[in-house]
Amino acid sequence: MASPIAFGYRKPFAPLMLDGLLTWMLKGNAIREDELPDVPLPLEQSGDKYPYYHASAWELVNPKFGTFCFVKSKPDDWAKRFLKTKPMLEIINYIATPEVIFRARGSRSDVHKIVASTGGSISLGSKRVAGWGRVNNIRISDPLPEDYSVWDQYGRAARPIPVTEIPPEKVKGGIVLMPYKPPYWTGEKIPCLVPPLERWWPGISEESIAELENKLKRLEQAE
């Protein structure tokens, strides 16, 4: 990663999904999120009633969390008439990491075509236009003997998996009502088994996340 990955500070902490990222790359001339094309991805799928892709949530290498605050000028209610501005506190969460890893099972050549269609200009997270989350190198590895795109090597969920598509004995861990396929920001929400926090953000705890969110709420109230 050439720069830290930013998140809008009012958004919950959640990992990015490879199938969601590939869908975003395929958006073409779609401007709005609800205009994203419903195009099948070149990835394997599992599931009967709720088919999901063999595409993992991200894995972060040595991640470090931070908060960046600055004051910017924002037009007030009279801006159109008098061009006045007033200062506004801007708060950005970010994760600094040298590498982001995704795992998938599918057509390596077709995934490469999707990535190449972006012209090599790819950024992750929020505030991408401002230079946050810039990717400086993408490597698609050769096929691996084991598929860890749905379940990792420790038997934990590597991505959100619809609960109804899992044998009861494997439903262990956190269950969240959320979309099970892209686009994750507008999709149908169903109960899903989700990756444990320590898998996609090693070194941080649920208590730490709660503490960070409370800190951000206090900053928001102080605006």
Please classify residue 93 by burial: count the beta carbons closer than 10 Å to its beta carbon, then call 0-12 exposed, 13-18 middle and 19+ buried: buried
Query: Tens digit of pLDDT for each residue in 61-88?
Result: 888 887 777 666 655 554 555 555 556 6
* 70 Cβ contact partners less than 8 Å away, ≥ 6 residues apart: 89, 90
Between CA 138 and CA 146 the distance in angstroms is 21
Q: Are 216 and 36 in contact (CB under 8 A)?
A: no
Torsion-angle region of 214 (φ positive above 0: left; ψ -120 to 50: alpha; else: beta): alpha
Q: What is residue 12's DSSP assignment? A: P
Within 28-130, where are the H helices?
A: 79-82, 108-116
pLDDT by residue, tens only, the chain of 223 residues: 889 888 765 555 678 899 999 988 887 555 555 566 567 899 999 999 999 999 999 998 888 887 777 666 655 554 555 555 556 667 777 889 999 999 999 999 999 999 988 877 788 888 888 888 999 888 898 888 899 999 999 999 999 999 999 998 888 878 999 999 988 877 789 999 999 887 766 666 666 666 666 766 665 565 5
Between CA 222 and CA 220 the distance in angstroms is 5
Residue type, 77: D
Pull the structure tokens for residue 33.
């999120």
Q: Which of 68, 61, 65, 56 minimizes the C-alpha distance to 1? A: 61
Between CA 49 and CA 75 the distance in angstroms is 49
Range 171-180, long-range pairs (CB < 8 A, 24+ positions): 180/50, 180/52
Model pLDDT, residue 203: 64
Model pLDDT, residue 217: 65
pTM over 0.75: yes
Helices (H) and strands (E) in the chain, counts: 5, 10
Model pLDDT, residue 122: 86
